[in-house]
Amino acid sequence: MPVAVPRALLVALVVLGGFLTAPPPASAAPPFVRGGETVPVYDYADAIRESVWVQTPTDADEDGVPDRVAVDLVRPRTAPGVKVPVIMDASPYYACCGRGNEGELKEYDENGVISKEPLFYDNYFVPRGYAFAGVDLSGTNRSTGCEDVGGPAEVAGAKAAIDWLNGRAPGFTADGTPVSARAWSTGKVGMIGKSWDGSIANGVAATGVRGLETTVPIAAISSWYDYMRYNGSLRSSGYPGYLQGVVSDRIAECAAVTASLANDSADETGDYNAFWRARDYRPSAGQVHASVFVVHGVNDLNVTTPQFAEWWQDLAAHHVPRKIWLHKTGHVDPFDLRRAEWVDTLHQWFDFWLQGLPNGVMRAPRATVETAPGTFTSARDWPLPGTRPVSARLGSSVVSYTDESLSEDAAVASPSTEVPGRIALLYGPLTSPLRLSGTPSVRLRVQVDRPTTQLTARLVDYGTATRVDYGRGEGVRTLATESCWGASTPADDACYLDVAERTATADHEVLTRGWLDAAHHRSLRFTTPLQPGRWYTVTVPISASDTTVAAGHTLGLVLTQSDPEFTEAANTGATVKVDLATSRLTLPISGKATLQPAPAGTVVTTAPIAPAERKAQPRLQLPQ
């Protein structure tokens, strides 16, 4: 296992927008701090393992009793008076689906005491003077209440665990005996987790709860609307209820919540309403007082990139201390991508924010971005400093295309060939590399002969190269070897199978995608049916990315309508006219590169596709 190296001391605190970039140092170093970092001095096998049921402010199951969340703790057996901070992973997956690449579940001994926590956090950090808390989200595993899928009850339950660690909420043992954390907890908490777990970390941070010092959201959701809707287009119908049913076995006790998930989520319109506002953490970014370490894959097709990009920008606007890692794989934990670098960086991060150790982690470059398979570079910020929006018109003529429900492969293949159902526009070959860093968009001047249709846009890199193959196994593969990260017991080992990036050589790659239900072109809160024969200006947001199109390659913009692989938008048979001369593609370009003028575009035929030839509706996914 890699040995950490002591870091240089910070000379002074720096204040940015009211936030301290360094916590105040402890008055005296605790026994687990040596050389400016925490070191493993406690016996993991002798750690205290216990379960506490923390009372929440909600009664989601309406049984007249406040809900309680189960908190399974592993903490070092410290000397009296020695207190430790807590690393917390609040998850709905501890009993149903597992965590990590190997799908680990919580396990208990014959007395119901936690014997195995998933992942390496407790194995590695408990010997170093941290406690670990695995929190069952409301309505899951051993918690009461109801699973409301990113909603107020779920967030309130995880927040209550932090309140208990700070003496602000009651906690009880299994037999109902009150229990306090004051004797051993400093009250400082760092929330971490991938996907749904990280999403709740975002939600709890947005409450501004005192004691939450830092969050590490990995491939996390910041707006559940944007997770289940793509600008008015349904990703899959009934998605909230589906997720509740997967992670919770308390459906019978939660009839009201289940009904709300089905009825208030507005599948019939795709609108953003009060139900989704309650599950949107971005408007509350100004209440975030915890530092944030964002990790995301730019090719994550499960939790797409607007989830991190918009949260990141909102945090920046409020001067929240932050750091970001971006990689080229899909829905992947950095532990399964850059294991040694990740554990070392995470160790520094928690030492700084939870232990008050001035190790210089906040003086390092704010952004780390994978620029080629296995190659990571640092930058002062993200999007890259100096990035600017560059617009290019799409052509000079008016073209039309009729919905054909094309697969992605069919939509982007052979861009110079006429393909019914698409418009393919090409920029290049490029005379120099084109670095995109941020969020693109395409503004279209259109006429539609139906009240609505879905508009889909893809940016494609045409040119042969070896790239991360994110379409297979999220871009990683599990190896036969393993490595160990912390101490083990017979019930909970710290060893995990190694993982490597998966690469492939291909003549093109879809860089990023965007969708819009055209009737939502004025607002996501309501629909505005389109009138045939009338011209409209609509903007299709394209998911954020960070990528480089090599010199000699060609950048393609591919426009289609319904997208059966990613959404449930119906094929309406609509014909769309596009005025290329008044339409614009806007790209976030770093450096001095420019786009060559686009050609006139590929005019396509309008023959409708037979229903039997259309692909099946998209499968539901877990934000896991």
Tell me how crowded residue 490 is: count the other CB atoms within 10 A of its CB: 8
Strands (E), 439-534: 441-448, 454-468, 476-484, 495-501, 503-517
CA 418, CA 509: separation in Å to the nearest integer? 19
Give the span between the Cα atoms of 602 and 585, in whole angstroms. Answer: 16
User: Which residue, among 302, 309, 379, 311, has the nearest Cα to 333 in the 3D structure?
Assistant: 302
Asked if 425 contacts 598 with a C-beta cutoff of 8 angstroms, the reply is yes
Q: Under DSSP, is residue 405 helix (H, G, I), strand (E, B) or coil?
A: coil
Structure tokens at 329: 């794989």
CA distances for 339 relative to 151, 303, 499, angstroms: 32, 21, 9
Residue 568 token pair: 């449930």
Q: Is the peptide bond before 429 cis (omega within 30 degrees of 0)?
A: yes
- Measured in whole angstroms, how far is the alpha carbon of residue 210 from the centre of its chain? 24
Q: What is the residue type of 358?
A: P
Work out the widest C-alpha separation in the chain, in whole angstroms: 78
Asked if 197 contacts 90 with a C-beta cutoff of 8 angstroms, the reply is yes
**What letter does residue 138 receive in the DSSP assignment?**
T
CB 543 within 8 A of CB 305: yes
- Strand ordering across the sheet containing 185-194: 178-179, 171-172, 48-55, 68-75, 131-136, 84-91, 185-194, 212-218, 291-297, 322-327, 367-372, 375-379
Residue 413 CA to residue 577 CA, distance in Å, equals 22
- Residues taking part in catalysis: 195, 300, 331
Instruction: Give the burial class of 451: count Cβ atoms within 10 A of its Cβ; 0-12 exposed, 13-18 middle, 19 or more buried.
Output: middle
